[in-house]
Structure 1
């Protein structure tokens, strides 16, 4: 399975000789798989099987799906709850007699809008027959959505590889300047001592240089950061949802870059660290949209 983003859209209409089903769905970023499915109230029994079908296609992200059903060649029955309506009108007449003109009487249209007074009863159709059309429509809409997520995922992968290459270039600069830093620190310390006209034994000078280098050495961080870059590449080449793993790797990258910046006193290294921070932050933002 190719790298997928968590952003997508799918729409499909399917029908048989009794019913026409329209499905529209979209997905956005989310830490987990979260499905919100809206179906007509009389077909709420379809919600769970719809969720199971969608879970086969979407493994992470928030999905909003909207299902509408339209009867083909059949009409729904309109049923009036006369008992409820009679009771409501009787209660209103009592109120009118008690309070007179202070209360405005309901019109026929008002009563028709009252909850449960009018009900629309769908034609008698087997749930299994409706379910087959709904699941087919969901499946085809989900495939369109997945195609869009794969396309966006492909663009993300290209961007990832470009940024990883740029990150490696900056890491190479850090590695090269870190090696030069030893000689620079020795020269700076020697120049400072000469300025102060202080004579120091060669052994003592070597110890001081070692201490300075040890406090600012970033070779371990360089190795770990290079390892994280390779792990990132390996992960985006894997199949299945990898977004959470990529998020963890980027956190570790961020940690190593910050440590390099805190330890290194070299100006060239500091400039490279700034560039690496920008690249890692861009990776972090993009990873948030990977399934």
Structure 2
């Protein structure tokens, strides 16, 4: 299910921005992009998002906007001064004039002159980061909940259309039986053979029972009702709704194979069309 969440955390000299975007996926596929200084908090960030997002392809972007110039590099002034003193002594002893434009870059490359402190974040910044992640995840969840409500409403409308088509089948059932009987009798009349009327009635009853669609109609109606119940009452019902849709498809297919009547076949095609749209949309629901 698609979604988007964004949150910001303001600190005295920087602003942290967290953006979370999700697309539909069968499992949780989490891609996290954050500054190196926040790598120590990666495990906590992943856990926070995993608790809020059950599945989906999720991209998380954490950025920092700093209002102050900051660097992890530090110049060791004592080491620099000592290197400079020794070089001045060596040059003076050798009778060479010192060229500081060339000398300073050389000293800066010498061992221990420039060091890099290990990047760490304060407890305040760590708490602000996790708070921003939680708020962004909550916003993503609210976005997905709203989209889910719209999808469920669309699915239920399509279930209503399937039931409407099912009700339209009923008027054609009686005429279908009479049409089938008339077709059989007409075929026998063209053969011009003697027929045992009692045996004919028995065989005709047996044949018409095989074409009866009452059970399929009842089961399809029950599946539609169960689909509504699950959609209204259960959390993360996407997979279960998918299973119910499969069962609805079986009944619709059987109804179509038994229909033996053009008008019913048209209604079956309409039901199949709505069911395919249901199956596509169910994949976007958790």
TM class, shorter-length:
0.7 to 0.9
Could you tell me how far apart the structure 2 residues matched to 1:135 and 1:173 are? 57
Q: TM-score, normalised by structure 2?
A: 0.78
Partner of 1:92: none
- 1:254 Cα shift? 1.7
Q: Is the 8 A contact 2:30 2:59 kept in 1?
A: yes
- 1:169 Cα shift? 1.1
- 1:161 Cα shift? 1.8
| Structure 1 unaligned blocks of 5 or more | 1-5, 81-117
Label 1:200 to 1:44 Cα distance change in 2 as closer, same or farther (>3 A): same
Partner of 2:93: none
Q: Is the 8 A contact 1:19 1:130 kept in 2?
A: no
Please give the per-residue CA displacement for 1:162-211, whole angstroms capped at 9, x wherever unaligned. 11111001112234433443222222212222233334233222222123
Partner of 2:48: 53
Task: Say whether residues 1:246 and 2:226 are aligned partners.
Answer: no
SS state at 1:44 partner: helix
Could you tell me how far apart the structure 1 residues matched to 2:183 and 2:62 are? 73
- 1:278 Cα shift? 0.2
Match of 1:125 among 113, 121, 124: 121
Label 1:119 to 1:250 Cα distance change in 2 as closer, same or farther (>3 A): farther
SS state at 2:59 partner: strand
More relative contact order, 1 or 2 (CA 8 Å, 6+ apart): 1
Partner of 1:227: 222
Q: TM-score, normalised by structure 1?
A: 0.77
Partner of 1:93: none
Alpha-carbon RMSD across the aligned residues, in angstroms, is 2.4
SS state at 1:232 partner: helix
Task: Say whether residues 1:10 and 2:5 are aligned partners.
Answer: yes
Label 1:190 to 1:39 Cα distance change in 2 as closer, same or farther (>3 A): same
| Structure 2 unaligned blocks of 5 or more | 76-113
Q: Is the 8 A contact 2:28 2:55 kept in 1?
A: yes
Matches within 5 A, 1:158-173: 158-173=153-168
Could you tell me how far apart the structure 2 residues matched to 1:179 and 1:59 are? 50
Partner of 1:87: none
* Higher Cα radius of gyration: 2
Task: Say whether residues 1:44 and 2:20 are aligned partners.
Answer: no
Aligned residue pairs, count: 248
Label 1:218 to 1:121 Cα distance change in 2 as closer, same or farther (>3 A): farther
Could you tell me how far apart the structure 2 residues matched to 1:76 and 1:179 are? 86
Please give the per-residue CA displacement for 1:32-84, whole angstroms capped at 9, x wherever unaligned. 2332222222322212211221123222222111112344546122379xxxx
- 1:123 Cα shift? 5.8
Q: Is the 8 A contact 1:224 1:256 kept in 2?
A: yes
- 1:232 Cα shift? 1.0
